Structure 1
Amino acid sequence: MKREALVLACCSDIAGKVRGKAFPEADFDKRLKRGIGWTPTNVQITCFDNIAESPYGALGDLILLPDAQTRVVADFQDGLASEQFVLGDILQTTGEPWECCTRSILKSALARLEAVAGVRLLSAFEHEFHFKGGSCPIGSAYTSAGFRAEREFAETLVAMLRDAGLEPDMVMKEYGVDQYEVTMGPTQGVICADQAVILRELVRVTAERLRREVSFTPMRAPTGVGNGLHIHMSFRDNAGKPVTYDSERKFGLGKTAGQFIAGVLKYLDRIVAITAPSVISYARLTPHRWSAAFNNLGFRDREASVR
């Protein structure tokens, strides 16, 4: 059957969904300049496909402009078409960043961090997910048997991550039933957030190619173990020197890092309203679940919001 390759231009929105439109691969260079049309109300589509109340309604036009550096071509060499997508920024038709573009918001925040504190952010993500209808027996938490049960998936995923320009770090069988964790190496600035989106998409695509289904849901059962997301952060000055650690200060925490953490804790209730927007998120954010149950800075404490 005759086919023509398409590339999905997409963005990650505040509902945690990756949404976009596909265009012919032959038009890639043209789309890098012109982008694709986008609608303001798209940002109000919930994870249940309802449209939340919005000031936009049926009004307005935007541009989703792809960033060529985020392009992914995942060729599984399984006889099927490659999975192709590219991330981008949502812009006004005049070229300015749109107020609800999450990628543009992050770029602006990173620029302010460097301007105010003279530091740049280095970060890495840990992603947890579980397989639906998995086959790991009870007693497989953190075990070699648990890893072997999904070795094919893990090795295929790592190959796709590396092809996409990511630095795979670790894959492990986690504590929960059919739960696994994938971590990636640290990168600077907005690249890390881009790679977090790419990793999650490749986890889903890899599972689909193996006729499996995965979920990143915060909670799969009221008494079960939920899926979390940890962000490792450190700072470097403009000369590239690490400034997070200071042996002369309490707990070895540098002044700038301490000020950054103080700001996170001060505004944590607002932060989680965006980063943990679902009701079931708060079933997980409770004591004795190794989640961020408290608004505090902890020393090697896995229930602290920041550690």
Structure 2
Amino acid sequence: MAITKESILKILEKESIRFIYLQFTDLLGTLKAVSVPVTEIDNILNGKVMFDGSSVQGFVRIEESDMVLVPDLSTFAILPWKDSPKKVARLICFVHRPDNEPFEGDPRRILRRAEEEASKMGFTLNAGPEMEFFLFPDGNHNKHDLLLDDTASYFDLEPLDKGEDARQSIVVTLQDMGFNIEASHHEAAPHQHEIDFRYDRAIVSADNVMTLKTVVKVIATRFGLQATFMPKPILGINGSGMHVHLSLSDKEGRNVFYDPSDEHELSIIAKQFIAGIIKHIKGITLLLNPTVNSYKRLVPHHEAPVNIAWSFSNRSPLIRVPAGRQNGTRIELRSPDPSANPYLAFAAILTAGLDGIRKNLTPPPALVDNLYEMTEEERQRNGVGSLPADLGSAIAAFKEEPLNRKLLGDFAYSNFLKAKEMEWIEYRKQVHPWEIDRYFNV
């Protein structure tokens, strides 16, 4: 049932909601919100609530700071952890300028624009992220020396899995908000967890990623835990990824990645989409893996993809085609991590894939061998390239990729690039404990 202004008003009265959070995301993927009393409901629903955009990362200068929040009514939800008498609902918003023109630096608008381009070609992108994260004991006030008291591994249960109760409470909270949770489990590393929700349109899935991150952090604190979506918090164990399952559907809702006449039941369109991602992956990696820490995860031998290749079922390449077919036909892109702004990440993936379709690109042959066990010579012989090795390399590849400026627009492109270049410079100036241990006595 479609959510309307009238239905929202009825829910607010029935549930005695006192406040509404108007949420949006800055350019780097940090969730922001303005808390507005329901007494201002007319201004809320009619997109008349303003805020200072000059104080938000990647937005506007102080001399042009007024911005307007225009809610997407379909995102209305009650926040289950906010109890009476201060019950709170939320609406996710698009950001506009005071003249009601869409703000070109709004990440959600950038994804919506990419979806509109796909729609012109007759496609809708469906995305299903797998969100990995860590839950550490809250006694770890020194984040440089995290305590590991969890000996659980992949799919383990209590008593080895010390975060199971918290994870189940997170799942219940998400379900109360309308999420369709497909699975949750302990992941391979100590204190690491994964929650998978059902695929949906890209913009809905991006909204869900932002909501999930908030719910995980809020519920974790109630169990004496602290949550992190940092890609690689601990040396020597697996990092956290945001593997994304992707498919395209046509205007009738049919999965266009499925072709029963193909040997692997994978359509030409699917292969062209894969080819587009492979062609552009180096240039868009900065949007999928945007932090210095992202590249501590993208190293060999910890189940994260570092090589640019694709396969059927084999999990070692960048892209794999899982076993499901017919409506379940999809590809899995394994490089993104949860520090990414999901709106920009999904927009980049979609734009790259559509370019492959437009240009009738053909991917290289699918690989069967385990890439983790191949030598460098064998990878070169098979034409297997590598992802950028650090943030600096990703920035350089980003600047060389023409697709990015078209994808983001001049405003967002310049501000995102500036923020990442500053981050890389700041990191390079630091002296790390490893350097002291290694070089102090030279």
Q: Which amino acid aligns with 1:287?
A: P
RMSD: 2.5
1:301 corresponds in structure 2 to 314
Task: Describe the superposition over 1:37-86 as per-residue Cα deviations: whole angstroms up to 9, x where unpaired.
Answer: 244444536xxxxxxxx8x4323132122222212322248778545432
1:188 corresponds in structure 2 to 201
Which of residues 67, 71, 77 is equivalent to 1:66? Answer: 71
Distance in 2 (alpha carbons) for counterparts of 1:93 and 1:111: 24
Flag the 1:301–1:140 CA change in 2: closer, same or farther, 3 A: closer
2:219 corresponds in structure 1 to 206
Q: Which amino acid aligns with 2:105?
A: C
SS in structure 2 of the partner of residue 94 of structure 1: coil
1:111 corresponds in structure 2 to 116
Q: Is the 8 A contact 2:51 2:67 kept in 1?
A: yes
1:222 corresponds in structure 2 to 235
Distance in 2 (alpha carbons) for counterparts of 1:211 and 1:7: 27
SS in structure 2 of the partner of residue 125 of structure 1: strand
| Mapping for residues 106-255 of structure 1, pairs under 5 Å | 106-116=111-121, 118-133=122-137, 137-145=150-158, 149-249=162-262, 251-255=264-268
Q: Which amino acid aligns with 2:230?
A: T
Distance in 1 (alpha carbons) for counterparts of 2:82 and 2:56: 35
Q: Is the 8 A contact 2:163 2:191 kept in 1?
A: no
Distance in 2 (alpha carbons) for counterparts of 1:245 and 1:203: 35
SS in structure 2 of the partner of residue 132 of structure 1: strand
Distance in 2 (alpha carbons) for counterparts of 1:83 and 1:305: 41
Task: Describe the superposition over 1:121-148 as per-residue Cα deviations: whole angstroms up to 9, x where unpaired.
Answer: 2221110011122775324432122675
1:50 corresponds in structure 2 to none
What runs of 5+ residues in structure 2 fail to find an aligned partner?
1-16, 138-146, 321-442
Q: Is the 8 A contact 1:287 1:303 kept in 2?
A: no
Task: Describe the superposition over 1:276-297 as per-residue Cα deviations: whole angstroms up to 9, x where unpaired.
Answer: 1111101111222211212222
Flag the 1:72–1:209 CA change in 2: closer, same or farther, 3 A: farther
Which of residues 24, 34, 45 is equivalent to 1:11? Answer: 24
More deviation in 131-140 or 256-265?
Answer: 131-140
2:92 corresponds in structure 1 to 87
Task: Describe the superposition over 1:256-299 as per-residue Cα deviations: whole angstroms up to 9, x where unpaired.
Answer: 22222222222222322122111110111122221121222232
Displacement after TM superposition at 1:154 (Å): 2.5
Distance in 2 (alpha carbons) for counterparts of 1:39 and 1:304: 44
SS in structure 2 of the partner of residue 261 of structure 1: helix
Task: Describe the superposition over 1:183-224 as per-residue Cα deviations: whole angstroms up to 9, x where unpaired.
Answer: 101212421211121111111121123332100000112323
Q: Which has the higher strand share?
A: 1
2:40 corresponds in structure 1 to 27
Flag the 1:146–1:32 CA change in 2: closer, same or farther, 3 A: farther
SS in structure 2 of the partner of residue 217 of structure 1: coil
Distance in 2 (alpha carbons) for counterparts of 1:57 and 1:146: 52
Flag the 1:139–1:206 CA change in 2: closer, same or farther, 3 A: closer
Q: Is the 8 A contact 1:127 1:181 kept in 2?
A: yes
Displacement after TM superposition at 1:251 (Å): 3.8
Q: Which amino acid aligns with 1:299?
A: F
Distance in 2 (alpha carbons) for counterparts of 1:147 and 1:179: 12
Flag the 1:146–1:185 CA change in 2: closer, same or farther, 3 A: farther
Flag the 1:137–1:229 CA change in 2: closer, same or farther, 3 A: same
1:37 corresponds in structure 2 to 50
Q: Is the 8 A contact 2:43 2:49 kept in 1?
A: no
Which of residues 95, 104, 122 is equivalent to 1:99? Answer: 104
Question: TM-score normalised to the size of structure 1?
Answer: 0.86
More deviation in 198-207 or 126-135?
Answer: 126-135
Q: Is the 8 A contact 1:43 1:100 kept in 2?
A: no
Q: Which has the higher helix share?
A: 2
Aligned residues: 294
Q: Is the 8 A contact 2:136 2:148 kept in 1?
A: no
Q: Which has the larger radius of gyration?
A: 2
1:256 corresponds in structure 2 to 269
Q: Is the 8 A contact 2:259 2:266 kept in 1?
A: yes
Q: Which amino acid aligns with 1:9?
A: L
2:340 corresponds in structure 1 to none
Distance in 2 (alpha carbons) for counterparts of 1:279 and 1:87: 29
Flag the 1:37–1:132 CA change in 2: closer, same or farther, 3 A: same
Distance in 2 (alpha carbons) for counterparts of 1:80 and 1:203: 23
Question: TM-score normalised to the size of structure 2?
Answer: 0.61
Distance in 2 (alpha carbons) for counterparts of 1:147 and 1:168: 23
Q: Is the 8 A contact 1:176 1:224 kept in 2?
A: yes
Displacement after TM superposition at 1:252 (Å): 3.1
SS in structure 1 of the partner of residue 158 of structure 2: helix
What runs of 5+ residues in structure 1 fail to find an aligned partner?
46-53
Q: Is the 8 A contact 1:9 1:88 kept in 2?
A: yes
